[in-house]
Structure 1
Amino acid sequence: MASKVFETPEAAVADIPSGALLAVGGFGLCGIPDELIAAIAAGNATDFEVFSNNCGVDGHGLGILLGEKRIRRVTASYVGENKEFARQYLSGELEVELTPQGTLAEKLRAGGAGIPAFFTPAGVGTPISEGGLPWRYAADGSVQIASPAKEIREFRGKRYVLEESISADYSLVHALRGDTEGNLVFNKAAMNFNPLAAMAGAVCIVQVEELVEPGEIDPGQVHLPGVFVDRIVHTGIQDKLIEKRTVSAGKGA
């Protein structure tokens, strides 16, 4: 069986084509697959559709691809902290589907589990279920594409909305530790979306801070089994950026 280990991020993402659907892990600036994203940015592929909790910040993570106008559509639950994202969305250059955070997580998990759709109470009675959310604006500021209404059903006296799962062509993931078979361990809040994004991609590509041999990770400590992982690259310790730096005033200030 061919090795899952790739020598460089560039080699691991080399076959990702223009127009690919990408499920991308991370939460804010925590646990984002920054080196895989940078490797994609170093190539020529473009016109991506991205599924991710957020779209990075200006000049970092997915914000790099966004700044180069190589993302055509984003499905996310949070899009703050990125001025270029707001500019592209409001000017009609970018299509955006906002979805509740828990719903997005379950859409990714369900896609990886082979479940095509599910019912959830989140969003019932709001534009999430009733439609009308602006997915894309026209250049004049009018709504060019609005979200459609979704199916509502009642179960045991409560109303639920039907949500379709997410299946991507590739998933980009960051893990704290992995072995050469792809078994992964995530660090704290980096577990929020990385395992789910990994499951949703037909081809899962992982960057790890520490790469070890099979058997060096206690099976009871594995957060995601290697069956979900297709490619793994050792990128070393990730530079931990701080999204918002807050300091207290010193004495006498």
Structure 2
Amino acid sequence: MNKLYPTATAALEGVLFDGMTVMSGGFGLVGNPENLIAAMKEDGVRDLTVVSNNCGAEGFGLYALLANGQIRKMISSYIGENKLFETLYLEGKLELELNPQGTLAERIRAGGAGIPAFYTATGVGTVVAEGKPVEEFDGKRYIRERWLRADLAIVRAWKGDTHGNLVFRKTARNFNPPMATAATVTVAEVEELVEPGMLDPDMIHTPGIFVNRIIQGVHYERKIEKLTVRKRAA
């Protein structure tokens, strides 16, 4: 089955709707599905619940959807230096479900693995535990956390073939692989597209069975979130 679509807009046709939940891969400025995010902005789909480690940086990544008023709620682990995120949240214009980073990753993995709940010691005795069942095992308390599932996952890989098999490179292998398994529909964009059989089977991180549609991405930016330099010694 050929899963290749000519553009990001075409790949998202028929899968976007207001009020949907979207998982978006990436960590900081690395591994963001830039083409698919731009297509979502162009579509104008609204009232989104977005599951992502963070919400981009000024002018980049999910920031575009946030600035365009398309995101209603973020399920994240890092909100950091995104001033727009801070402003919208403090003004009551953006809902936030803040997760410890490891918990967020495991909730997504559990969603893909069909595990509706699990226990973790992270957050016991803090605001993270509010409203959640806490149980004791072998003398230690654990929070029960729920899985995360989405209507759509948008991910970015280094290489992929037209059957949807994906290979991620270095830090871009962050939230992308588990998100690809945890949604009703997964759309992937790749930096390099190859024919079936050209990827080493032992190097495939996400099998094509999890990917519904794929595009060849374009115009990727290699941004550095923070750059610190020092003068060379004389």
**TM-score > 0.5 by shorter chain:** yes
- The total of aligned residue pairs comes to 233
Correspondence 1:1-253 to 2 at 5 A: 1=1, 3-15=2-14, 16-129=16-129, 131=130, 149-236=131-218, 238-249=220-231
Deviation sequence 1:47-88 (CA, Å, 0-9, x none): 100000000012111000000111000000001121111100
SS in 2 for 1:189: helix
Deviation sequence 1:213-244 (CA, Å, 0-9, x none): 11100100001111110010001462211111
For 2:116 and 2:233, how far apart are their aligned partners in 1? 58
Deviation larger for 90-99 or 13-22: 13-22
How big is the alpha-carbon RMSD for the aligned residues of Structure 1 and Structure 2?
Answer: 1.3
With normalisation by structure 2, the TM-score equals 0.96
Indicate conservation of the 8 Å contact 1:174/1:194, yes or no: yes
5+ residue gaps, structure 2, are: none
SS in 2 for 1:173: strand
Amino acid at match of 1:5: L
5+ residue gaps, structure 1, are: 132-148
Deviation sequence 1:79-127 (CA, Å, 0-9, x none): 1121111100011000001100000001001101111111111111111
Q: Which residue of 2 aligns with 1:143?
A: none
Amino acid at match of 1:20: M
Structure 1 runs of 4+ off > 2 angstroms?
249-252
For 1:237 and 1:212, how far apart are their aligned partners in 2? 18
SS in 1 for 2:187: strand
For 1:219 and 1:23, how far apart are their aligned partners in 2? 26
For 2:193 and 2:134, how far apart are their aligned partners in 1? 46
Indicate conservation of the 8 Å contact 2:35/2:218, yes or no: no
Indicate conservation of the 8 Å contact 2:44/2:70, yes or no: no
Deviation sequence 1:164-206 (CA, Å, 0-9, x none): 0000000010000001111110011111100011111110010
Deviation larger for 176-185 or 241-250: 241-250
Indicate conservation of the 8 Å contact 2:76/2:99, yes or no: yes
Q: Which residue of 2 aligns with 1:139?
A: none
SS in 2 for 1:5: coil
Deviation of 1:249 after TM superposition, in Å, equals 3.3
For 1:219 and 1:251, how far apart are their aligned partners in 2? 47
Identity percentage of aligned residues: 51
